[in-house]
Amino acid sequence: MSPRGERPRLTVLVATTRRWPELESCLEALHDQAQSVGAEILVADGSGAGLSSDAQRRYPAVRLLRRPGATVFQLRARSLEASRGEVVAITEDHCRVAPDWCRRILEAHERWPDAAVIGGVVENGADRTLLDWASFLLVNGSVLPPVRKGERPPVALQANVSYKRRILPCRLPDEGRLEWMFHRDLRRAGETLLCDDAIRCVHVQSLGIAGTCRIHFDDGRTLAWFRRREIGRIERIGRLVAAPAMPPALLVRALLPHLGHSRRCWRFLLALPWLAVLVCCRTAGAVAGFVAGPGKSPQRIR
């Protein structure tokens, strides 16, 4: 840990809405290496029971921010506002970062001092079923290694991304913010976003058939609600009219990163029936979000 009052080189943010021990494997992979580079870990807890009673003894580098009932989007927004590091990194409670993750992040930001955002790569740790592969490929397939290092359009989102402090706003909306929308706005402002394939984490999430379908519906609905807040009525109607084209468009977008990688293409094809189901769930959620707003979907996103 950095001396009191001194800004740490790195703050790592982890939001959780689940009870302990959901967060345990994440902290076990992260804590000791964070201490070794003088980083702080800021855990934003929306459940009120995200950490065990002896967490302060086991994980002294952790600073706890409790916001009972908050969504993961609100938790990440509040923890970003409370972060102190010169570099701020984000991962998820169901991810396990590589043993050199913190060091690699700091080295990457030193190597590219002008980069506003540096994302890593995300591997699939829930790989026993084609349903789990389909779910992973839709969300994180564009940053599944191997990827090209350097400036590139797809940059990892909340599973494995880090920011220079200079581009972080002091205040964020009460409802939070989607990382991909923030990245889009930074690109429009002329900032540099990079990928470094040495920064690795493993995404471990297997929710079964009902849970996976529901989370993709909820994700689609939440995303549409965030988009609805920034577009006009005419564009919203246009998106609803174009909704039948959304499932094939999502499938094509999910396939593109795997072209040229025969093994990954075969995995994609094997998972295609489940991919078709999940893109329909996301489309149904998007329609619900544009028509009726978020409902309870943001609260159910993990």
CB-based contacts of 29-33 (< 8 A; 24+ apart in sequence):
29/96, 29/97, 29/98, 29/99, 29/101, 30/91, 30/97, 30/101, 30/102, 31/58, 31/59, 31/61, 31/62, 33/97, 33/99, 33/100, 33/101, 33/102, 33/103
Confidence category of residue 4, pLDDT binned at 50, 70, 90: low
- Secondary structure of residue 147 in the 3-state scheme: coil
Task: Give domain status of residue 171, yes or no.
Answer: yes
Task: Give domain status of residue 61, yes or no.
Answer: yes
Q: In sequence order, what DSSP letters do the residues of 184-245 get, joined into one string?
A: HHHHHTT-EEEEEEEEEEEE----HHHHHHHHHHHHHHHHHHHHHTTS-HHHHHHHHHTGGG
Could you tell me which residue, 252 or 154, shows the higher pLDDT?
252
Confidence category of residue 194, pLDDT binned at 50, 70, 90: very high
Q: Are residues 146 and 246 in the same domain?
A: no
The Cα 106–Cα 114 span in angstroms is 13
Task: Give domain status of residue 284, yes or no.
Answer: yes
pLDDT reading at 146 higher than 60: yes
pLDDT reading at 104 higher than 60: yes
Taking each helix axis from N to C end, the angle separating 233-241 and 208-228, rounded to the nearest 10 degrees, works out to: 150
Residue 5 is predicted with a pLDDT of 60
Residue 262 is predicted with a pLDDT of 87
Show the DSSP H helices in the chain as ranges. 24-36, 55-58, 72-82, 101-111, 130-140, 179-188, 208-228, 233-241, 246-255, 262-270, 272-292, 297-300
For the segment 10-30, the average pLDDT, to the nearest whole number, is 97
Residue written as token pair 């009052």: 5
Give Cα 27 to chain centroid, integer Å.
Answer: 17
Show which of 163, 185, 203 is a domain's final residue. 203
Task: Give domain status of residue 183, yes or no.
Answer: yes
Backbone angles phi, psi at 92, to 5 degrees: -110, 160
Confidence category of residue 2, pLDDT binned at 50, 70, 90: low
140: DSSP letter: H
For the segment 242-261, the average pLDDT, to the nearest whole number, is 95
Contacts of 249 (CB under 8 A, 6+ apart): none
* The pairing of beta strand 87-92 with beta strand 62-66: unpaired
For the segment 2-18, the average pLDDT, to the nearest whole number, is 85
Q: Are residues 18 and 116 in the same domain?
A: yes
Show which of 147, 173, 203 is a domain's final residue. 203
Comparing CA positions, the residue from 110, 84, 124, 99 lying closest to residue 199 is: 99
Name the CA radius of gyration of the chain, rounded: 19
Report residue 136 as tokens: 């992973």
pLDDT reading at 3 higher than 70: no
Q: Are residues 73 and 183 in the same domain?
A: yes
Q: Are residues 126 and 221 in the same domain?
A: no
Task: Give domain status of residue 245, yes or no.
Answer: yes
Task: Give domain status of residue 225, yes or no.
Answer: yes
The Cα 51–Cα 53 span in angstroms is 7
- Taken as a whole, the chain contains a residue count of 302
Burial label, 237 (beta-carbon count in 10 A; 0-12, 13-18, 19+): exposed
Q: Are residues 96 and 235 in the same domain?
A: no
Task: Give domain status of residue 4, yes or no.
Answer: no
Q: Are residues 169 and 196 in the same domain?
A: yes
The Cα 186–Cα 181 span in angstroms is 9
Q: Are residues 105 and 141 in the same domain?
A: yes
Q: Are residues 48 and 171 in the same domain?
A: yes
Residue 56 is predicted with a pLDDT of 79
Q: What is the chain's mean pLDDT, rounded?
A: 95
Q: Where in the sequence is the domain holding 216, given as residue range(s)?
A: 208-300
For the segment 190-207, the average pLDDT, to the nearest whole number, is 97
Residue 263 is predicted with a pLDDT of 87
Q: Are residues 187 and 250 in the same domain?
A: no
At 64, which CATH number? 3.90.550.10
Show which of 158, 173, 203 is a domain's final residue. 203
48: DSSP letter: S
- Secondary structure of residue 264 in the 3-state scheme: helix
Task: Give domain status of residue 3, yes or no.
Answer: no
Q: Are residues 37 and 153 in the same domain?
A: yes
Residue written as token pair 């580098």: 61
Position 264, amino acid: R
Centre a 10 Å sphere on the Cβ of residue 107 and count the other Cβ atoms it contains.
14
For the segment 258-286, the average pLDDT, to the nearest whole number, is 95
Q: Are residues 194 and 61 in the same domain?
A: yes
Count of domains in the chain?
2
pLDDT reading at 88 higher than 70: yes
Q: Are residues 231 and 90 in the same domain?
A: no
* The pairing of beta strand 161-164 with beta strand 87-92: antiparallel
